């Protein structure tokens, strides 16, 4: 059996991993929430790795409140950078491969084409910067790592844009959503499958990989399709980032080029609309 530790195991992606874990019979999982293991506490992390043996650690723990991070910089740093560094050290000492999740928000969003793994990062928010610093801490401390950058995660678990839109459609008669930020939504269960396929493949091609569903849309387009598929009774209007003010600045164009991971795992691309349909079916069950 391959032994796997999932940190941040009670979050959205952690719950997606848990929901598909039974499909992978040769993998043996331990899911830890923030109360079980605080990744920002190096003493706790070292002790836990000393007393338990794993082949892989999947780090789903993160500070993900993009706007709040602008006011809680130190907290975001402790989790996204120091937490990642602590795990990298512990994995190195104990010969564990680290699979770490990062974000499209490490880019500034000025590119016209989808970002490749080699493109220069230049985060424009505290969240993005702390996530990039987490990546750098892993790269410089642990050769045996996979860093998977993904974008616009949603699922039936936790809180996310899809669930927010569904809630707002019940509370409001009209809604404005920004139409000047382009990216690609990703069903977190599709990402969870990809992570477990990496482990299953026993690949040693360590490094950074991009993974998202397929397509390029704005948040407005996404909201429109969520309301269409869920037959929500709401008037949706386009707005822009200047009008819909938020504490953090988001990239204008953060589409990821995912060809590297598709060729590593011989994956079939999954269109974003198709995955949205799958997720809404799960939510309505």
Ligand X SMILES: NC(=O)C1=CN([C@@H]2O[C@H](COP(=O)(O)OP(=O)(O)OC[C@H]3O[C@@H](n4cnc5c(N)ncnc54)[C@H](OP(=O)(O)O)[C@@H]3O)[C@@H](O)[C@H]2O)C=CC1
Ligand Y SMILES: Cc1cn([C@H]2C[C@H](O)[C@@H](COP(=O)(O)OP(=O)(O)O[C@H]3O[C@@H](C)C(=O)[C@@H](O)[C@H]3O)O2)c(=O)[nH]c1=O
CB of 37 vs ligand X, minimal distance in Å: 6
**Dist. CA 14–CA 156, nearest whole Å:** 12
Contact partner, 175, from ligand Y, ligand X, none, Cβ < 5-8 Å per class: ligand Y
Residues 223-242 that bind ligand Y (CB under 6 A): 239
Residue 110 in contact with ligand Y, rule: CB under 6 A: no
Identify which range of 61-69, 91-99, 224-232, 246-254 contacts ligand X by CB under 6 A.
61-69
Binding site partner of 66, from ligand X, ligand Y, none, Cβ cut-off 5-8 A by kind: ligand Y
d(CA 142, CA 132): 15
Active-site residue identified among 48, 56, 63, 127: 127
127 noted as active-site residue: yes
Task: CB nearer to ligand X: give 33 or 267.
Answer: 33
Closer of 90 and 195 to ligand Y (Cβ): 195
Lookup result for tokens 């990546």: 135
User: Which residues sit opposite 100 in a β-bridge?
Assistant: 59, 147
Sequential DSSP letters for 22-60:
GG-TTEEEEEE-TTT--TT-HHHHHHHHHHS--SEEEE-
Residues 245, 247, 253, 254, Cα dihedral to 10° = -150
Residue with tokens 């993160």: 62
Q: Which of 61, 67, 45 is nearest to 126 (CA)?
A: 67
Residue entry with tokens 């230049």: 122
Choices 35-43, 115-123, 255-263, 275-283; region in contact with ligand X by CB under 6 A? 35-43
Those residues whose C-beta lies under 8 Å from the C-beta of residue 11, and which sit 6 or more positions away, are 60, 61, 62, 64, 158
Of 37 and 217, CB closest to ligand Y: 217
Q: Is 194 in the site for ligand X (CB under 6 A)?
A: no
Q: Enumerate the H helices of 72-206 as residue ranges.
A: 73-77, 83-93, 126-141, 161-171, 188-201
Residue 54 or 152 with smaller CB distance to ligand Y: 152
Select the residue whose beta carbon is closest to ligand X and give its number: 11
Catalytic residues: 127
Positions that interact with ligand Y (CB under 6 A): 64, 66, 103-105, 151-153, 161, 164, 175-178, 181, 219, 239, 244, 246, 250
Positions that interact with ligand X (CB under 6 A): 7-8, 10-13, 33-34, 37-40, 60-62, 64, 79, 83, 101, 103, 131, 150-153, 158
């Amino acid at each position: 059996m391959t032994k796997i530790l999932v940190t941040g195991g009670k979050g959205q992606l952690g719950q997606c991993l848990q929901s598909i874990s039974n499909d992978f019979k040769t993998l043996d999982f331990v899911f830890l929430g923030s109360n079980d293991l605080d990744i920002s506490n190096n003493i706790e992390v070292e002790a836990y790795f000393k007393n338990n043996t794993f082949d892989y650690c999947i780090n789903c723990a993160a500070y993900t409140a993009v706007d709040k991070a602008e006011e809680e910089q130190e907290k975001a740093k402790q989790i996204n950078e120091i937490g990642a560094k602590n795990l990298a050290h512990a994995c190195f000492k104990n010969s564990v491969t680290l699979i770490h999740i990062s974000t499209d928000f490490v880019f500034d969003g000025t590119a016209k084409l989808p970002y490749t793994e080699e493109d220069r990062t230049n985060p424009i928010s505290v969240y993005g910067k702390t996530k990039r610093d987490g990546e750098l801490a892993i790269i410089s401390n642990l050769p045996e790592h996979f860093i998977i950058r993904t974008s616009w995660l949603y699922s039936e678990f936790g809180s996310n844009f899809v669930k927010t839109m569904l809630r707002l459609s019940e509370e409001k008669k009209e809604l404005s959503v920004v139409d000047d930020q382009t990216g690609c939504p990703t069903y977190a269960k599709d990402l969870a499958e990809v992570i477990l396929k990496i482990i299953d493949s026993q690949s040693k091609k360590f490094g950074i990989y991009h993974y998202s569903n397929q397509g390029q849309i704005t948040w407005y387009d996404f909201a429109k399709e969520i309301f269409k598929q869920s037959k929500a009774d709401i008037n949706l209007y386009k707005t822009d980032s200047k009008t819909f003010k938020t504490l953090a600045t988001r990239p204008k164009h953060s589409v990821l080029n995912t060809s590297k991971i598709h060729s590593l795992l011989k994956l079939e691309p999954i269109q974003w609309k198709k995955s949205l349909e799958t997720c809404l079916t799960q939510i309505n069950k």
